[in-house]
Structures are given as C-alpha cells and as structure tokens.
Amino acid sequence: MDVVEDRPGLRKEQIRPRESILTRKRFQYATALLIGALLPWLAREPLLPGTMLAEASLNGLMGNIAAITIGFWLRLSIETYPGINRSAVILPAALSGHGVVLVWFMLTRFPYDRLGLAAGFLLHVVWLYLLYIYADRRIRRRFAVVPFGVTARLEQIAGVDWTMLKRPRLQDARHCNAIVADFGADMPDEWEGFLADAALAGRIVYQVKQLSESLTGRVELEHLSENSFGSLLPARGYFYLKGLVDFLAAVVMLPLVLPLMAVIGIAIKLDSRGPVLFRQSRVGHAGRSITVYKFRTMRTVEAGLDRDAAMTKPDDDRVTKVGRILRQLRLDELPQIFNILKWEMSWIGPRPEAKVLSAWYTSEIPFYRYRHVVKPGISGWAQVNQGHVAAVDEVHRKLQYDFYYIKYFSPWLDILIFFRTIKTMLTGFGSR
C-alpha cells in the first residue's frame, strides 16, 4: 500500500515504486537456474535412463549453475553503465559465463555433459530475452528531481519521466525509481534532511552529473577553458593487463585473419591501381606519433597536408567500390592488428586521429589531448554510439564519449563495446 504520510521509521516497501515480479533480479536469477540448469539435468533421465546421477551429468548441472551465476553477476556489473539497452548485455554476459565454465572443464579434464551445457546456454539466453521482451523493455524509468542546482537540464534527456519535486516529502517520490539531486547546490535544510531520510529509507539518490553521464553515455564538457577531469586517469592495473590481453589475442588471431587479408589485398589490386595498404601518421598513447595501417579504400590521389584532405566526407567520390564494402564491414581496419602487436594500439579504445586533424581539434577543443591517456583502439565507445565524424561540433560530442570510456575504463565496458562492434559491422552503422 502507498504511504499517506512521512514519518520516522517508515518501512522501505511503503515508499518504493511497485514493480513487476518479472523485472526483479532475484526472480530472474532463480528462474534462470531452474530453466537453464535444472531443466536440462532433469531432461537427461527420460532421454538416457539411469544417467542422471552419473558424474558427467552432475558436473553438467553444477557447470550450468556456475555459468548462470557468473553471467548474472556480469549483467549486474555491465548494466550499471549508462545508455545501455538491457538486451545488449544478455548475450555477452551469458557467453562469458558459459565460456568460462567450458574452458574450466577443458583444462581440468573433468567429465561433463556437453549436450546439457549446450542446452543450458540456449535455455538461459532464450529465457532472459523472453523476460526482456515481455517485461524489461516496457519499463520507462522515472526519477524524482530535487529542484536546486543544475537539475533542470535533465529534462532535455529523452526516454525518461522526470518528476520535479515541489516539497521535501518521500511520498511524492513513491512511484519513482530513484531520486536525483545536485549535491553541490545550496539547498534549504529541510531538503538536505529529505535526502538523508531518503538514503535511510533505502532509496537510491543520484548525483545529477553522474546520472546525466549514465543516461547519455557521455562525460559533459561544461567549460572548455578549465580542466575538471582529474579523475579520468584510468585504472593502471587494468591498463597493463589490457595491453597484455590485446597482444596475446592478436597473436592468436593473426594466423586466422592472414588468409582473409590476402583475399582483401587481391580484391583491392583488381579494383583500382595503387598500394594495398594505406599508411598514415596519427597520434597515439600519450601523444606519441604512430604509423597506422589500413587497407586502402580510396583512389590514389595527392594526400596533401590540409585537414580537408584528411577527412572522409559522406559519399566521398574518392572511395572505391571494394573500399566502400570494406568500410561498411570495418574490414579496412584489419591491418591494425600489426599496430597491436607493436604495442601501439588496442582492440578497443578511442580511435587514433591523423596528426593534422588532432592539431586542429586541439586548437578548437583544449581538452581534446586528454583522450590520449589510453591507447587508441580499432573500435571504441564513440564508434558504436556515434559513428564516423569530422566537424568540430561532432568531434566535441565524440570527445564526450571518449572521456566517458576513460572515466569508466573497465573490462565490462570493453566487453559491451566488443559485442556492439559486431552489431556495428553487420549493420554498417556510422561508416563513410
């Protein structure tokens, strides 16, 4: 029942918004265990009588339980990131969880039910997508806004219902998922007490800037004349671990992509005259100059040193027929695997810009150089959200995505970008 008055000792459930049981995490986890772990195990008996208690069958059951638990934990970790459609993390999280379990079985050589593990994975994914289709995607987030400071700008963010509070009463926010306030604003004592009461009652209270980043996937650049990004230095431990993983992945991938690269090289030579590879001096980690390799996708012309020559415009007539296909599928970036092997680039990170463009952007946007605090990547948060850009106003927004990536630099964000990159390659989003 909804609360009718504000008073000390108010029970948490009285002031929290009602939600469908289908959207509750505990329900989703419990039913995933039942459908993705218990059901394949129980189905083994009618299919293969007398084998349900066999070692391989029991190991398969425990493996599915572990995989679903790992996947659920990954979902909770990834879904804290902003602007993320919940459906986008279901498959990556499930693949990671079941993949870890499969690798563990292969390394330990314990017997396991292969069919049971495969069925558990499929049932796990299908069930979570069904829950998303019939429950999660119908949820429209509601936030109660404390009307002080810079909270008014939140109303510009679409896809969210904003309730501007008129008085410091928890009952006015009872139908909202969370409360948002500008903690740096001067507000009356009763409103500060309201925020304290909200926290004591178990309500989520967001800082306006962090919530804005969370919903847009961008770090706002409020004043180009001052630096407010001291906290953007990425976690150094993950920085070095990521570099090692990038290198090892490139070593493993190289024999697999070399035949594809050979076919692409032949297609380029047959399509137009000129070299197969395009080399360009770009700005890398810490502002150092690197030579980036790409498959040539344009007719050979005088490159020039001006910024217009360095930009690719929409429907650029310099792009060849084969080049247009390579750009759409992002296969023109494949030779950058050699940049990764040289420890100059990463699989995921802000895209490296040509020197002439980087110098221009830096002169127009003083904070631009901060994007070089991590290694540049073949794909990145800006690429899967915005696509190719060149104009300064577009670059300003791209920089917000880059700074967001640096601020929330983590393996979970990299996993999300990896799977969204696959979607980008299949759809051709943002290519020129």
Q: What is the pLDDT of residue 38?
A: 95
Q: What is the pLDDT of residue 102?
A: 94
Per-residue confidence in pLDDT tens, the chain, 432 aa: 344 444 444 444 444 555 678 778 889 999 999 999 999 999 988 888 888 899 999 999 999 999 999 999 888 877 665 456 677 788 888 998 999 999 999 999 999 999 999 999 999 999 999 988 887 666 778 899 999 998 888 888 887 889 999 999 999 988 888 899 998 889 999 998 999 888 888 888 888 888 888 788 887 765 433 334 444 567 778 889 999 999 999 999 999 999 999 999 999 999 999 999 999 999 999 899 999 999 999 987 554 555 555 566 666 778 899 999 998 888 999 999 999 999 999 999 999 998 988 888 888 877 788 888 899 999 999 988 887 665 667 777 888 898 888 888 888 889 889 888 888 887 766 555
Q: What is the pLDDT of residue 56?
A: 93
- Residue range 392-406, pLDDT digits in tens: 677 778 888 988 888
Q: What pairing do the DSSP bridges indicate for beta strands 161-164 and 346-348?
A: unpaired
Q: Which residues contact 12 (CB under 8 A, 6 or more apart)?
A: 201, 202
DSSP letters, 64-75, are: HHHHHHHHHHHH
Tell me, rounded to whole angstroms, the distance of Cα 185 from its chain centroid: 31
Q: What is the pLDDT of residue 230?
A: 46
Place of tokens 């391989």: 56
Cβ-based neighbour number of residue 258 at 10 Å: 11
Q: What is the pLDDT of residue 221?
A: 67
Q: What is the pLDDT of residue 357?
A: 85
Reading the block at residue 102, the tokens are: 């499969």
d(C-alpha 410, C-alpha 217), whole Å: 14
Task: Report H helices in 289-410.
Answer: 307-310, 321-329, 337-341, 355-364, 381-385, 392-407
Report the C-alpha dihedral over residues 151, 156, 157, 161, rounded to 10 degrees. 80
Task: Tell me, yes or no, if the pTM score tops 0.85.
Answer: no
Task: Give φ, ψ of 294 to 5 degrees.
Answer: -145, 160
> Nearest-CA neighbor of 16 among 52, 234, 24?
24
Q: What is the pLDDT of residue 138?
A: 67
Let me know if 223 is exposed, middle or buried by CB neighbors in 10 A (0-12, 13-18, 19+): exposed
Q: Are 52 and 41 in contact (CB under 8 A)?
A: yes
Q: Which residues contact 189 (CB under 8 A, 6 or more apart)?
A: none
Q: What is the pLDDT of residue 91?
A: 86
What secondary structure, in 3-state letters, does 210-240 show? HHHHHHHCCCCCCCCCCCCCHHHCCCHHHHH
Place of tokens 């509070």: 165
Strand locations in 83-219, DSSP E?
142-145, 161-164, 178-181, 205-207
Reading the block at residue 99, the tokens are: 């993949």
d(C-alpha 323, C-alpha 208), whole Å: 44
